Amino acid sequence: MDANLKQQLRTTAVQDFGYVAANNVQAVAQNSIPEIANNVQGLTDLLQANAKDLAGATAEARSTFFLDATGGDQVLQNAQFYCGVFNPGNDTKIGFSLNNLPAGKYGLVILDVKNSQKPYFYSFLLKQDANAWKIAGLFPRNRTIAGHDAQWYWQEARNYKAQGKVHNAWFYYLIAREILEGGSSVGSTGQMTENGIV
């Protein structure tokens, strides 16, 4: 992805987050693909579920990905994208799997949310529509689980490991990793999920 495309995706996601933080359902719908724009109740419910925590918040792009699913008008039953460096013995990669994805070009932007009542990641799946990028998925993600952040789970994992409780340590490491990854898993276009609308 070139620098201009990366900046376009980031600017669009930050702008769209402003509408989300302001609980502006109409603006979010106007900037969305029809499957989301026409699901007014689902969109309203999603924004209202996080409105109190996100009121007055701002966002900054953490990670940006370009996903090319072109190739006709077909719907891809299971589109898989892999990003990263692939070296023998040292694979660093992130994977995305999207079900029932209409062919097209997409961007995924993961945002760090600032000044929210609770720590959040907020991710946008954007679909290219002519010269614009439209919201094709919204993914709010609390950066805590049961009131604890990743650092707490990481420290607990170390404590368990030091006690020889490797299964507990493994479980707490997994939770810390889940929080730190920022909600990079996404679901099916046009459907509500427990973590957002896609």
pLDDT digits (tens, 9 = 90+) for 7-23: 999 999 999 999 999 99
Q: Is 198 strand, coil or helix?
A: coil
Distance (Å, rounded) from C-alpha 176 to C-alpha 153?
A: 5
3-class DSSP string for 135-153:
EEEEEEEECCECCECHHHH
Distance (Å, rounded) from C-alpha 21 to C-alpha 54?
A: 5
pLDDT digits (tens, 9 = 90+) for 48-67: 998 998 999 999 998 898 88
pLDDT classification of 83: cutoffs 50, 70, 90: low
Q: Please, what is the angle between helix 166-181 and helix 150-162, to 10°?
A: 160
Distance (Å, rounded) from C-alpha 51 to C-alpha 23?
A: 6
Of the listed ranges 156-160, 172-176, 190-194, the least confidently predicted one is 190-194
pTM here is 0.73
Task: Give the pLDDT of residue 140.
Answer: 84
3-class DSSP string for 63-99:
EEEEEEECCCCCEEEEEEEEEEEEECCEEEEEEEEEE
pLDDT digits (tens, 9 = 90+) for 90-143: 555 566 677 778 888 999 998 989 988 877 888 899 999 988 999 999 888 777
Do 110 and 184 meet the contact criterion of CB atoms below 8 Å apart?
Answer: yes
- pLDDT of residue 89 exceeding 70: no
Distance (Å, rounded) from C-alpha 173 to C-alpha 17?
A: 30
Domain ranges in the chain are: 3-143+182-197
| Beta strands across the sheet bearing 192-193 | 58-69, 104-114, 120-129, 132-142, 196-197, 192-193
